Structure 1
Amino acid sequence: MGLVFDWSESPETTVILCFHMNTHRTQKQEQEQEQEEEARHEWDLSLSTVVSSSSSSASDVVGAIEFDPTDNILATAGISRKIRFYGLASLLRNTAGVCGGAGGGVSFVDQVTACEYYICTPAKLSSLRWRPGSCSRVIGSGDYDGVVTEYDLEKRTPVFERDEHGGRRVWSVDYTRHGGAAAVGASGSDDGTMQVWDPRCPPEESVGVVRPAGLCRSAVCCVEFDPSGGHAVAVGCADRRGYVYDMRKLVDPALTLQGHTKTVSYVRFLDGGTVVTAGTDGCLKLWSVEDGRVIRTYEGHVNNRNFVGLSVWRNGALFGCGSENNRVFVYDRRWRKPVWVDGFEPVGMTSGSDKRFVSSVCWRQSGVDQCTLVAGGSDGVLQVYVGKRKP
């Protein structure tokens, strides 16, 4: 402690002081452990529905899952060259018994039956995002040919297209949440740029072009605007960094998030003051947007190579991600270790038969005491989980 006591003068005082300090420290550690254990059991989550196809294979990787603004329609896309649409109510017909974690069963549904309709696309898709202000009528996508396309769901045809990434894969698309029909869009690509654009303007016009890694041209893997309506846009990059830009000044990043040892594959706003990143170094990190400080690092899932998805449920402060050991992981922002893990082995499939992994996840944002998480696999299978907060 940096102090020297004379035992010949006051031995009792010294012994009693050390005993009380050690006792206090032990009690504090026990209290923290008890509090953490209690928090780790705040939620009951269970599998409700499995959507699969008899033809599901490694050629049907689910790369993107998105709920529409009403949280009632689910869209999925991947390398099958199709955007599939599902009604959440039809997927959760048997939720009543499952949500409590006991007394219910799992529904197994064929993809052909569960899918209400689909739109064929000319290329493999990596990302989806519903366009704000369109009343769930328009959805944007990014594809492997470097093209951003918007589709009208009523006409089931493309209504807008941008091809400014030089044929390099588009990994991510997003829109500002404010502005309604005037929302601005952004796309991140293998060409090392984030293109910012206005869907109302001609394709040849651009709001701005951002190169986070400069001359290195490291791939931009993810872009996301602040969903609370602020001016920030976050970027995940293959140069092992995350970046936060102010839309009013895109010349330089307002913040650089440096701490991952491999590619930053995803970046998500938890709220206006914090951002979550995922890296292929096998960890998630929570950052303060105010000063770029790492608040907490989360470990437990396996991610060394693939895109495995990252989604945050803002009302519950929970993060969901996939894993290369074919499991779904849920983290609470308060603790480093996962609070819930579930295997991803639909009926009829044996563990270890190949290298399946969970490739995409998405939380439904509605609710406070009840939640819904959807996960997609590298074999095209969807699994719907439901949960509720314990009393």
Structure 2
Amino acid sequence: MAMNQTGEVTAPAELGNLTQFEYLALGSPLNLADGHARQELTPGQIRIVDELPSLWAESVKRPVEEVEAEARRAYLELLGQRRFPDVPERLLSCYSSSVAMEIFARSLARTTDSIMLVHPTFDNIPDILRGVGLRLEPVEEPVLHGAGIPDDRLRSVGCVFVTTPNNPTGRVLSRSALRRLAARCAEHDVVLTLDTSFRGFDTDAHYDHYEVLEASGCRWVVIEDTGKLWPTLELKIGWLASSENVGLPLAEVYSDILLGVSPLVLSMVRRFAEEAAGGGLADLHRFIATNRATLREHLEGVPDVRFPYPSSRASVELIDLGQRTALDVWTALRRHNVYALPCEKFHWANPVEGSRRLRLALSRPASSVLTAAKALRSVLLAG
């Protein structure tokens, strides 16, 4: 990042990765940059935090395999996933979805040199995939949700990777679309990989993906993530699930990187999932919807500003800025101590497509979203 003569952070001449932008925002109370959960704990969640000493004592005494099984069952069944592979060798526990992604990428690179990746999506996914030497082919969302990938394109890659719900668009691959895509991947012996990190926010994504994948006969991988749902100070679990016939050395590569994860974090995830099943998840959906409404209401009437994905229920909101550039708006917001993400790097195959788009995170205290929305309106009306 660049600085001016007064030491103020300004927009870089060349955009760095999105995580670098997120890092700048970490110390700000008006950080609407990263998609991690940073809202206040609910009363029910505070009670779980108060239970941590007893969860620690319980985790010490119980077999890790038992703690792990209870955590993954509570979390996945909360989100409608009942046919998941309930065996450790096919559902590997990681410290984050990024670690799971790295394990997947290293494993895939041993069997193919090419992968088709949804476009746009968060840039650490293409960065990790490129980092292990894979050649990336973009597939646009309308293709995935519409007519589907042509045969000749499917034959040219070893894997298709889809983020659903997608970040930043919030688009969900429907049951029928997943069924069609999985059947096509089975036909061409292509691995189908899903990143479902934002599934918890959209009930349209709560159909049983594993049931569809297993029925298709395709080789598949699913990356799960608890880190987007709850404000747990980066204590989270990423799971790496796979089909029995996946044909990738996932467990071997996993053992190169991890021995296992903390049973305390697993126990905490179980309790948060149980609280969510008792009504906490519905409360979260209402909270995100309220923050989204606040943002949209305060930008109503601003010339040339629109919301390209009005039905999104993800915990992020994408804004088209009209003729304004995202970096100019980012710089102006920075003077208000407000942080968001310019979207060039989401459009990893054609960054110019995102040069006039901004993404704001909604998993924040309502007061922060309100203040940021007012500041954004002021910046946009100023030019």
Q: Structure 1 or 2: larger strand share?
A: 1
Which interval holds the TM-score relative to the shorter structure? Answer: under 0.3
Higher relative contact order (CA 8 A, sep 6+): 2
What TM-score, normalized by structure 2, do the two folds share? 0.25
TM-score (structure 1 length as normaliser): 0.24
The higher radius of gyration belongs to 1
Higher helix share: 2
